[in-house]
Amino acid sequence: MVAKREGNGTIQLYTDEFSVVGDSLSTSRLPFADLDNWWRPYVDLSTSGRIFVANDMLIRGYESDGSTLAWSSSLPGTVTCVRCFDGLGVLVASRVSGLGAVLTRYSEDGDELWSEVWPQVLAITDMERLADGRLLMIGQAQYGEERIHIACYSPTGEMLWVWQGRSGYTSIAMTLLSDNHFILTGYRDNRQWQYFMYLAEFAITDNPNSGVGERETMPIDEVWLLPVYPNPFNVSASVSLSLNRMSKVNLTLYDLLGRPVRTLAQNQQLSAGEHRFAVDGAGLASGTYILSLDAGTAGVRSRRITLVK
């Protein structure tokens, strides 16, 4: 389901169905007449067809036709996640300034069943339910402490355990692989205002009141070739590359025939972080060139650069 802001400022929700190879099978629009001027709605569906939409500090439940409002309720803070689970109802995470993350459970009919505060966390960003009914959720730490937080709740709202990951990592979304394994996607800050996406696999221990163990972390983007400036250029240009780990790099400028015309770095061992290089246009003809970065197992990247004299 996708929320789209139309040209007149109203919000429309679309349901899209795709095949396993990415072919679009169907698209339908749900007529939410009272979602005018809502910003970034969070949406989930129940198996009964009811639709739950939350935005800012309000949650609304709709019948399956998308136009009949069944109920609405105010939230204690700004919503950060909404999930609907069979037998549990609707779980809404909100962020309350000075308090932390608040998790509220509603029935599908809008009755508030319980509410719990997670004070160590700024926001809950995703949640899943295990086969035994326990609720698993990931959170973003308070400002100034980028760290993964994972918590496990009982269906009645009792916090069973909390796990804190390594500093510098922030989680975004969670995907269950099985009842005792899941993957987190997020980003890592290397403390130099550079961010790298990552995947991390976790295993939940057999003890329902213990926690998880991180099995493997797999960076997604280990090397970035940042935009060339200026581009087009006349005399010289500057380009930066960013590495997630120490790597041996080759940075070469090619013409459109694939011939190397400049070597900026050759088998140069560079530390993790950002590195800047100058592209000298002296002796080159006007035209388009390809700047190629080869960082071995860390990856290969390229950018087009245009010289105008």
Closest Cα partner for 150 from 137, 132, 169?
Answer: 137
- Strand pairing class (223-225; 24-30): unpaired
Look at residue 299 in the predicted model and tell me its pLDDT. Answer: 65
Check: pTM over 0.75? Answer yes or no. no
Quick check: 95 and 55 in contact, CB under 8 A? no
CA–CA separation, 188 and 200 (whole Å): 11
If one compares 255 and 211, the residue with the highest pLDDT of the two is 255
pLDDT of residue 219: 45
DSSP 298: G
pLDDT value for 273: 77
Q: What is the number of alpha carbons within 13 Å of residue 277 lying toward its C-beta?
A: 25
Element (H, E) at 149: strand 147-153
Looking at per-residue pLDDT, the higher value among 286 and 64 belongs to 286
Kindly list the distances between the CA atom of residue 74 and the CA atoms of 77, 83, 104, 112, 158, in Å, as whole numbers in the listed order. 9, 17, 11, 11, 23
Q: What is the spatial distance between Cα 274 and Cα 276, in angstroms, rounded to a whole number? A: 7
- For residue 153, what are the β-bridge partners? 135, 159
C-alpha to C-alpha distance for 33 and 21, rounded to whole angstroms: 34
Q: What is the CATH number of domain 1-116?
A: 2.40.10.480
The region that residue 258 occupies, defined by phi over 0 for left and psi between -120 and 50 for alpha, beta otherwise, is: left
Q: Residues of the chain with pLDDT > 90: what percent? A: 23
Q: Which two tokens stand for residue 266?
A: 């050759």
CA distance 87 to 70: 19
Answer whether residue 2 shows pLDDT above 90: no
pLDDT value at 31 more than 80: no
Chain centre distance of CA 228: 26
The domain 223-307 having CATH identifier 3.40.50.970: the answer here is: no
> What band does 217 get if pLDDT is binned at 50, 70 and 90?
very low
Among 130, 147, 150, residue whose Cα is nearest residue 202 = 150
pLDDT at 252 over 50: yes
Tens digits of residue pLDDT in 101-127: 999 999 999 999 999 888 878 889 899
Residues ≥6 apart with Cβ < 8 Å to 158: none
Other CB atoms within 10 Å distance of the CB of residue 159: 14
* Average of per-residue pLDDT values in the chain: 77
In 90-114, which positions are buried (b, 16+ CB within 10 angstroms) versus exposed (e)?
A: bbbbbbbeeebbbbbbbebebeeee
> pLDDT class for 215, splitting at 50, 70, 90?
very low
Coil, strand, or helix at residue 124? strand
User: Average pLDDT for residues 245-258, to the nearest whole number?
Assistant: 87
Beta carbons within 8 Å of 193's beta carbon, 6+ residues apart: none
- Identify the pLDDT of residue 301: 79
Among 15-19, 120-124, 179-183, 298-302, which is the least confidently predicted range?
Answer: 15-19
pLDDT of residue 263: 93
